Amino acid sequence: MRYLDVIDSLDPARGGPVEAMRRLSAGALRRGHEVEIATLDAPGSGWAQSFDCPVYDGGPGRLGVYRYAPRFTQWLRANARRFDAVVVHGLWQYHGFATRAALRGTGVPYVVYPHGMLDPWFRREYPLKHLKKWLYWPWGEYRVLRDASAVLFTCEEERRQARQSFWLYRANEAVVAFGTPGVQGNAAVQRELFDAQYPALRDKRLLLYLSRIHPKKGVDLLIDAFSEAAQRDPRLHLVLAGPDTGGEQPQLMRRAESLMPGRVTWTGMLRGDVKWGAFHRAEAFILPSHQENFGIAVAEALSCGLPVLISDKVNIWREIHGDEAGLIAPDTLDGARDLLTRWLTMDEPARRQMRVRARRCFEQHFQIEAACDSLLATLRQVSALRRSPSVA
């Protein structure tokens, strides 16, 4: 099978959708399939070099975050029939609208991964932005989803939430497996690489946050809750790892330093063995997010046997709770306090058992191989149908 991945950007700082697409495409290549990628990035961005398949940069996109790029549409229209199917990753940028337009009349089906972008949290938190989206919705994303051969949700919770965002909604929904390859390499070497880069943390008890620094992630709650928990043990230390995509890091850094000087380390984005070293060095992973569709970093932590302390707005919380692989609480300050208190008062035998269950949870639910097989099965099914999109 030959299929095309379509995404607005390959910039790794954009978070989970890029990493998910990378892992899924790599799995398809290992199985002997052909994969290509088309983006709205400007030629020469450099991000394509980390992918093992051909990449077409159809930008530069214009009109702000929408990234209108007519060159992208022209290329897709000219090349569509080379593919058995097209996979659209994400919403609200031009790439989805362009895919629907370019594929009309070709018989080439497409599917859409919303990647959590239909979560009603955005409507509640950003009502003005939601109003703008609503003005675009009837002639834009509503039709993109309506005419897709399948709209792929990574868990039942995501599908349930998506139905609450817009009253005008129609989609051929499917829940598919999702995951990540998990930890690879030598744990001792990775741990030492992390310690060499951050020698001041060698003797600390580390709690790890690894995600974008963005308002929806609840970093402010984590800082306030940890400032109280840190009083329990002077060796407790919080590592905040991730790029600042929301512009709030300077303010958060000032707050952390005023509340608990020297107790927080900001690493920026971690990659490769140093990233895995951070997981291995931590005693728990924490993410009190207000909205999280899947949470690749959560699954990566589980793959390391690292218990996860997460909010009930991380959509895979039910699987983690059911396997007793972590702790769950609301996405509030009291919830963040509760996560830290329960972890810090847990005895060591209970922590060891949770580490074992964390790894088992990853193996049962979040392996990338199952996710890749699930996507390929869906693409084979829609490709066999070869239905044409609606003309409306």
Q: Is the pLDDT of residue 148 over 50?
A: yes
Measure Cα distances from 381 to 30, 87, 154 in Å.
20, 13, 18
As a whole number of angstroms, the distance between CA 112 and CA 362 comes to 25
Binning pLDDT at 50, 70 and 90, where does residue 392 land?
Answer: very low
Same domain (yes/no): 240, 170: no
Question: Is residue 97 assigned to a domain?
Answer: yes
Query: Which residues are CB-neighbours of 353 under 8 A, at least 6 positions away?
Result: none
Q: Is the pLDDT of residue 319 over 60?
A: yes
Per-residue pLDDT, 127: 87
Question: Is residue 330 assigned to a domain?
Answer: yes
Same domain (yes/no): 89, 160: yes
| Total number of domains constituting the chain | 2
Per-residue pLDDT, 35: 97
Q: Is the pLDDT of residue 391 over 50?
A: no
Binning pLDDT at 50, 70 and 90, where does residue 124 land?
Answer: confident
Same domain (yes/no): 252, 192: yes
Same domain (yes/no): 376, 320: no
Same domain (yes/no): 48, 160: yes
Same domain (yes/no): 152, 212: no
Same domain (yes/no): 258, 154: no
Average pLDDT score over residue span 163-174: 92
Per-residue pLDDT, 4: 98
Q: Which two tokens stand for residue 285?
A: 């992973």
Output the pTM of the full model: 0.79
Question: Is residue 168 assigned to a domain?
Answer: yes
Same domain (yes/no): 146, 216: no
Query: Which residues are CB-neighbours of 290 under 8 A, at least 6 positions away?
Result: 121, 125, 215, 216, 217, 218, 311, 313, 331
Per-residue model confidence as pLDDT tens digits over 66-114: 899 999 999 999 999 999 999 999 999 999 999 999 999 999 999 999 9
Q: Is the pLDDT of residue 390 over 70?
A: no
Same domain (yes/no): 345, 373: no
Q: Is the pLDDT of residue 389 over 80?
A: no
Per-residue pLDDT, 380: 94
Q: Is the pLDDT of residue 388 over 50?
A: no
Question: Is residue 358 assigned to a domain?
Answer: yes
Expressed as residue numbers, the domain containing 16 is 2-179+369-385
Mean per-residue pLDDT of the chain: 93
Q: What number of residues does the chain have?
A: 392
Q: Is the pLDDT of residue 203 over 50?
A: yes
What is the secondary structure of 235-270 as a DSSP string?
Answer: TEEEEEES-B-SS-HHHHHHHHHHHSTT-EEEEE--
Same domain (yes/no): 162, 223: no
Per-residue model confidence as pLDDT tens digits over 255-299: 999 999 999 999 999 999 999 999 999 999 999 999 888 888 999
Binning pLDDT at 50, 70 and 90, where does residue 386 land?
Answer: low
Residue 245 near residue 178 (C-beta atoms within 8 A): no
H-only helix segments in 7-155: 16-30, 70-79, 94-103, 121-125, 127-136, 141-147
**Range in 152-166, 217-231, 273-287 the model is least confident about:** 152-166
Question: Is residue 392 assigned to a domain?
Answer: no
16 or 188, greater pLDDT: 188
Per-residue pLDDT, 179: 83
Look up the CATH number of the domain holding residue 145: 3.40.50.2000
Same domain (yes/no): 205, 331: yes
- Give 81's DSSP letter: G
Per-residue pLDDT, 279: 98
Per-residue model confidence as pLDDT tens digits over 340-360: 999 999 999 999 999 999 999
Question: Is residue 391 assigned to a domain?
Answer: no
Question: Is residue 390 assigned to a domain?
Answer: no
Question: Is residue 143 assigned to a domain?
Answer: yes
As a whole number of angstroms, the distance between CA 151 and CA 208 comes to 33
Q: Which two tokens stand for residue 126?
A: 């950003």
Same domain (yes/no): 148, 26: yes
